[in-house]
Each structure stands twice: as C-alpha cells, then as structure tokens.
Structure 1
Amino acid sequence: MPTNAKEGIIFTTLMCSMMVFVMSAYNLLLVGKLGVTTLLLGFIPGFIVAFILDVLVVGKIAMAIADKLPLNHDKMWQMILAISGMMICGMVAFMSLYGLLIEGGMPTHFWPAYLSTIGHNIIVAVPLQLIIVGPISRKILSMIHASDEAKKTV
C-alpha cells in the first residue's frame, strides 16, 4: 500500500491504467468494436475520468468505509480486500455509466441498460482487480519502495 503522496500517485496510475485498458478492451469486444485504434483513442479519456474518480471520489469513500468496517486493521490482507472491494463497486458503477453514455448517449431504457452494463463489468472487474491488477500494482509499488529505501541508506 502507498506510504506517501508520490507512491499514492504511482499506485493509482498503475491501477487505473491497467484496469481501464483491460476493461475498455473487454467492453469494446462485447459491442464488436475492438480494434487497436479504437482502444487507444478511448483509453486516454477513460483513464483521465477513472483517475479523477479514483482520487477525488471513490478512493476517499472506499477508505472511509473500510476504516469503519469491523476488521482487524493490523492485518493488511483484510484492509486490501475491503478497500479493493469498495473500489471495485464504486468504479464499476461510475465507469459503467461513463461507458454507457460515451457509447451512444442516454439510452431510452436507461436503468435496464445501466444494470446490464454493471453486471457485465463486475464479473470481469472483480477477478481482474483481485487476482491480476492489484497484486501486480502492489508488487511494482513494493519494488519502488525498496529502491527508495535503498537510496536512503547509501
């Protein structure tokens, strides 16, 4: 987990970039529009929206909720699962709305379309975050942290 602002920005950038890239590819595949150009052109605005939502809204709410849960806050794995779970729920809700609106504007039957989009996204976002992106991001962050610590001792 990040221990300072620099690490927080690095961690959020890693998480957002990987999640947005894979989830964008998945959603483009679902609607039959997956292509390198489409993916890359959609990645930049999607990443910006996801990063802002993560930093300003979802991340703060997820941390606040996780702090109030009856967990052993000394066990890092419990905090990671709690925060990740809250982040997944919040980001899927917001980014599903973003994707739905970007894809074709406000659908006639908004709620069925939105709930369907959430359903399609949550089944990929949960394992992607918990099994792949989260561990990779934490590993890279730990390597950066170790490198920074080694520089301090020299």
Structure 2
Amino acid sequence: MPKNYKKATEPEDIPALFVEAWMKRDADMLASLFSEDAEFVNVVGLWWHNRYDIREAHAYGFEKIFSESDLVLRKTSVKNLSDDIAVVHARMRLKNQTAKGEVKTPSLRQNIFSFVVQKKEGHWICVSAHNTDIIPGAETNIIDEEGKFKSVNYRK
C-alpha cells in the first residue's frame, strides 16, 4: 500500500477521509486510515481484525456492492478521552447501493459510525470502527419463529 495518502491531523478528519476514499473506491486509501491491527465491525456484524482484511473487504464491496454508491458525511462528534485517544461518531447517508435479487432499487440508508482513533507519530489513525445502520422507527431487533430478522418498536 503506497504511503502517500492524506493523514488525519484531527480526529474528525477520519470520517471525512473515509468518505473521500469510499467515493474514490480506493480500498488502499481507506485501509491507510487504520492501524495494522485495527478492528472493524460492519452493519451485519462481520468483523475484521487487521488493516489487510479491512482493505480486502472494502475492495470486494467497492466492486460488487457499492460500485455506484454515494456516501455523504452528515454530522461528526468527537469525544476526547486523552490527548492522544478519541471516539469519533459520524452520521452518514448511503444511496445507490447495487441492486440484489428482488430489490431492483435499494433505498437510501443512514448509518452511524463509531471510530476509536489514536494519535501516533503526529497524526490520527483508526484502531477500531463499528458501523451501525439506522432503522427509522425501530428500537431493537428481533428474530421471529421462522428465523427471520426484523427491526421492531415496542412502543407501537
């Protein structure tokens, strides 16, 4: 992986650079935001344990699932835990995911990323990321008697 990618000078640069790499479909650039031993959990609970696997998963995604997608950063929040560790939450919007099966035009998705970032050698790098889809109107998930996964709201 080339070493000439932009480096995060502030914690909030990580989600902005993530979106930039996504829009370029550049798995190497995206992976450069992560430490060698970073952890990444995606929206369905797939869990990668190092930069190489994070890169490979996103390269596959850019080719098969998100080749025409549009990812937009909507809001960022930073909570500094120390001078060199922070938690960054980022709300994003995804559209134009690749169609699959009966779903000919996938709907807009919104998500929240949690990035744990650490300052190393003068720049910030992600050591852990977790991506969570926002399900409008839902409070939690449930699996029904047939084994089907559903998002539900107990207040309604």
Q: What TM-score results when the alignment is normalised by the length of structure 1?
A: 0.27
As a proportion of its length, which structure holds more strand? 2
Q: Which has the higher contact order (CA 8 A, sep 6+)?
A: 1
Identify, as 1 or 2, the structure richer in helix. 1
The TM-score with structure 2 as length reference comes to: 0.26
